[in-house]
Amino acid sequence: MTDVDIVKHDQGGVNARILARENKADFRRVEAASLKIRAAFASAEGKRMFVRYFSTLQLSVHFISVIARTRIDHADVAKVEAVMREQMDKAAEALNKAIDGAEALFQTHGITSPATYDTVPLVVDVGVLSSFGRRYLELLSKLDQLMPLLQTLEIHEVVTTQAVDIERAGLKRKVRDVANGARSLATRMRRAMNALDAQRANAGAVRGGDADSEVQDGPATPPGGSSIEERGQTNEGGVEPEGSAAEAAAYPIDADEGTTSA
């Protein structure tokens, strides 16, 4: 007897809708090399978490580890990186524990196969910029792996729907908080950089007022003796100084919206 498909299945429309709702992350000013890794997400939670938070995490980490390190003490940057690493470790531990617990319940109740998705997986070639990006991609993959296991336990009435919802929401929050935490730390680093710029500008203005009250038409000379041009930037050439609006536009870590992979 010929198999008859009595329902319509997704042909990629779900992924298209997910991608269409998210803003594209701007990586045009990121000059770092990236390791290309193919990632696939089958669950609704895994797809949306990846699209909304992975690029946000990558841009935030790049700002902290690369941009901020050029102007802030390396020891301070290392402390911020340690905070991010600890948060990732805790999220990974929670996901591993949940996966192990679900697999144990499978064995206890004689469940041999997990539920599967009829929607088309979201398959992407991801450019990973740092070890933090690689570890966050692993967190997202673990979350995606866990979702059908929880669904299977709910279908077999091993756990209640309410219990699954609570566990699912808690684990999603842990993964989401890693990206939001990195964005918050990057914002603090930017504020620290802006404060340093303001202090240098004020110090230069005081010295300039004491030495000579005449208005100068030439390029400003920041503390340290090097002009803006000598630092590789110009005021009238279209490139703004570091920590300015141009940099903020290139690394939109203060935005509330989720971002997508470039």
List the end-to-end C-alpha distance of the chain, in Å, as a whole number. Answer: 47
- Three-state secondary structure readout of the chain: CCCCCCCCCCCCHHHHHHHHHCEECCCCCCCCCCEEEEEEECCHHHHHHHHHHHHHHHHHHHHHHHHHHHCCCHHHHHHHHHHHHHHHHHHHHHHHHHHHHHHHHHHHCCCCCCCCCCCCCEEEEEEECCHHHHHHHHHHHHHHHHHHHHHHHHHCCCCCHHHHHHHHHHHHHHHHHHHHHHHHHHHHHHHHHHHHHHHHHHHHHHHHHHHCCCCCCCCCCCCCCCCCHHHCCCCCCCCCCCCCHHHHHHCCCCCCCCEECC
Give yes or no for residue 172 having a pLDDT over 80.
Answer: yes
- Annotated domain spans of the chain: 20-199+245-260
pLDDT digits (tens, 9 = 90+) for 209-258: 665 555 455 444 444 444 333 434 434 333 344 444 444 444 444 433 33
Task: Give percent of the chain above pLDDT 70.
Answer: 77
More confident site: 71 or 220: 71
pLDDT tens-place string over residues 60-70: 999 999 999 99
How far does CA 124 lie from the centroid of its chain?
16
What is the tens place of the pLDDT at every residue in 182-205?
999 999 999 989 988 888 888 877
pLDDT of residue 144: 98
**How much of the chain exceeds pLDDT 90, in percent?**
61
What's the confidence (pLDDT) of residue 213? Answer: 54
Model confidence pLDDT, tens digit, residues 128-152 = 999 999 999 999 999 999 999 999 9
**The pTM is what?**
0.75
At 109 the pLDDT is 96
